[in-house]
Amino acid sequence: MYVFPSHSQDAKKNPLPHSKKIAYMRKMFPKYRSSIVAGKPRTAIEVAVELHDKGHRAIVMVVGSDRVAEFDKILNEYNGVKGKRHGYYGFDNIEVVSAGARDPDAEGVEGMSASKMRAAAVDGDYNSFAQGLPKSFKDGKS
């Protein structure tokens, strides 16, 4: 298993730099520390190329339910396609699955989303941000 944190960063929607995302994720999920990749891939296709180059023959990508169709289409569209500037990957199987449905009206972590977490971080609203953190994570203010 690999986790590739997003490189996206801007003041409005993505306030945390890539290095901070990695540091927080490794603290929040110490059991999976070595699976959280600090590599160069910036897009799903670049991740696919890297995994193919490492010898993997199949991938499963877990995304928000609203993005399953998008990633399924693009990853399968370029699978086995040579000569494109995106790089080459050829998997026997590509599966894109939903991370699960959430109730946006629920309180606490059940209703939390990446968008809500980003908005709380941008607004400096630690209390709202903390609702989306694992209960075992005590270092959310760092």
Amino acid letter for position 38: A
pTM comes to: 0.79
Distances (CA, A) of 15 to 9, 24, 31, 68, 71: 6, 13, 26, 24, 24
24-66 pLDDT tens trace:
899 988 999 999 999 899 999 999 999 999 999 999 999 988 8
79-134 pLDDT, tens digit per residue, is 999 877 888 999 999 999 998 776 666 666 667 777 788 788 888 888 888 888 87
